[in-house]
Amino acid sequence: MISVPVMTTTPLASTGTELDVDILIIGAGPAGLYGAYYAGFRGLRVAVVDALAEPGGQVSAMYPEKAILDIAGFPSVRGRDLVEGLLAQADQFGPTYLLGEQAQSLTHDAAGNAVVGTSKGRSITAGAVIITGGIGTFTPRPLTSGLDFLDRGLSYFVPELSAHVGKDVVIVGGGDSAFDWAIHLESIARSVTLVHRRDKFRAHKSTVAKVYDSSVQVLVNADVSDVRGNGWISEVDIARKLDKTTTTIPAQSVIAALGFTADLGPMAEWGIDIDTRHIIVNTRMETNVRRVYAAGDITDYPGKVRLIAVGFGEAATAVNNAAAVLDPEAEIFPGHSTEQEG
């Protein structure tokens, strides 16, 4: 479990279920946590709300053990280590975390401040809101043949690699997650079999090449047609589409990396311009709704690249532009952190 700094070192104006902050960040994923740090660096009072029970967003929920390879300055960093570092960075300025709490409604008060209502009946008044909700609320696509074994051998994510030590593991899927888990588990599992319904993959070519170069068995044009066991998974049937044959293989662990469905939840009703499931922003990370910004994977604009590294820059851009709106005398860019004393 990731440790969470709960309260801020700078007291926030709060009465009962009411909270008053300069910046409210919706989403505690990497972009949101970096935004919390940067807002604190600018001397702003910050609260972070997230429907998930722990910080880190998709990284914590889906791949805390996965090696992330595209963070500047880190050839490789585990998901949970990245989140721990972001929390430690933000905690220098003591943001308030409201976890397990969903942002549900948005209005504005007479002064133009945003007022956000949450699923716990809280009312948060903020000078500006920055939405960093990743892909919004996400739900794994189910492996229908194995639903009876959920949490008894069937899983959709891999929060702990150690849970698969010495097991025969079957991974279902053809995207980055499926191939990444195949690489991570090859050295600790008894066997790893990757099953994909097509012979084309959505994963990075270099990762696919690594898997094919390993001991992982890759079965294409195939499906897991049946999952069996006595209380816990013991074997699965693999149906091949081309020759219509079925093979039974041992399996104590099945990881269904089939992707997920996502939606913006109540935010879709806030009057924000949305393209499919992404929020449209300008170069200042502003949405069409006053004092509401967005950053990270949830945003869209021409040339958008969805990387954690890009989300960090967008979060800083959103904070800096929001700071200038809250205080017209403030500079949009306050200077580099290396120029600050202390």
Q: Are 171 and 257 in contact (CB under 8 A)?
A: yes
According to the annotation, is 297 in a ligand binding site? yes
110 is in an annotated binding site: no
Asked if residue 50 belongs to a known ligand binding site, the reply is: yes
Say whether 237 counts as a known binding-site residue: no
Whether residue 194 contacts residue 251, with contact meaning beta carbons closer than 8 Å, is answered with: no
Alpha-carbon span 181 to 99, nearest angstrom:
28
Q: Would you say 254 and 172 are in contact if contact means Cβ atoms under 8 Å apart?
A: yes
CB contact set of 179 (below 8 Å; sequence gap of 6+): 194, 201, 203, 204, 207, 208, 210, 211
**C-alpha 112 chain-centroid distance:** 30
- The count of residues in the chain is 342
Sign of CA dihedral 97, 103, 108, 112: positive
| Cα dihedral sign, 68-73-74-80 | negative
Q: What's the CA gap between 72 and 300, in Å, rounded?
A: 22
What is the 8-class DSSP label of residue 235?
A: E
Residue type, 306: R
DSSP codes, 102-163: -EEEEEE-TTS-EEEEETTS-EEEEEEEEE--TTSEEEEPP-GGGGGGBTTTEESS-S-GGG
194 phi-psi bin (left φ>0, alpha ψ -120 to 50, beta other): beta
245 is in an annotated binding site: no
Residue 58 in marked binding region:
yes
The C-alpha atoms of residue 61 and residue 156 are separated, in whole angstroms, by 10
Q: Residue 313 phi/psi, 5° resolution? A: -65, -40
Q: Is 8 annotated as a binding residue?
A: no
* 23: β partners: 46, 128
Question: Annotated binding residues for FAD, as ranges?
Answer: 50, 58, 63, 103, 138, 297, 338
Q: Annotated binding site, which residues? A: 50, 58, 63, 103, 138, 297, 338
